[in-house]
Amino acid sequence: MIPVSIVIITKNEAEVIADCIHAAKMITDDIIIVDNYSTDETFNIARLLGCRIYQKNWDGYGANKNKGIGLAKYDWILSVDADEIADLELVLSLHSLKLDNTGIVYDIKFKSYFGKKLIRHGNWGRDHHIRLFNRTVVKWSEANVHETLILPGQMQIERLDGCMHHYSVKDSNECNNKALYYAHLSAEKYLQAGKKVNPVKLYISPIFSFIKGYIVFLGFLDGKEGWSIAKITYKNKWLKYHYLNRLENNAKKKPYLKANLTRLVIEN
């Protein structure tokens, strides 16, 4: 085992959490689950597999990840989602690290799946994220969605060998539902940040995203799954700004609603 704590946030992940934890146990003896009061067997599975599991209120993706970081045994943190599984090459790569320089963060290549099919092209085929860092210098932003790591200046980024296998969605219906959900959250985030809607963002940007993913990045080579991903990417991009436009109009009509964005987004 290496001196790294793995932090996983969960909400009803019983279908996938066991495989994620089994891979995590090849890396460390400290696995922290921050669970948002799952109503399925997530809690019991994680407990039986030897994780430290804490049930916490939902304050956003970044905020709940930071809660887990605060509970970690080690300063080095590997952030993993419940539907992500480290392969053996990545596990061995992690075991080879000295972890003696807090000025380094580690980037991991992702292999994403649509159902059981590995997506090799498009935006999904180029996916990678910084997921290993030292908590004494790095934390997650506390945005409600699309959280990012806050990196001090002059941080060194190194790419690890191996991959994290991301079992993102089971089918087009789940992919579409996720697009709708994240579009709502993104619209709320944009309004809070003061972003404005314009014709380019509302109409041109979604088309450009479709062309880039499906044609420039060869998403069409992934067959019907590549087509589904490209369509849903277009829809998500358009919906973010469509919902933002609605929120802006509602806020102008009823300014007090801006203080209750979470409720407003859910109702829309």
- pLDDT for 256: 52
pLDDT along the chain (268 residues), means of 10: 96 96 98 97 97 95 96 98 98 97 98 96 96 97 84 94 95 87 84 86 92 97 96 91 86 59 40
What global pTM score does this model have?
0.87
pLDDT of residue 254: 63
pLDDT value at residue 176: 87
Q: Tell me, what's the pLDDT at 249?
A: 81
Q: How many CB atoms lie within 10 A of CB 257?
A: 14
pLDDT of residue 264: 40
pLDDT of residue 261: 47
What pLDDT was estimated at residue 7?
98
Residue 238 is predicted with a pLDDT of 92
Tally of residues, the chain = 268
User: Per-residue DSSP letters for 218-267?
Assistant: -GGGGHHHHHHHHHHHHHHHHHHHHHHHHHHHHHHH-GGGGGGHHHHHHH
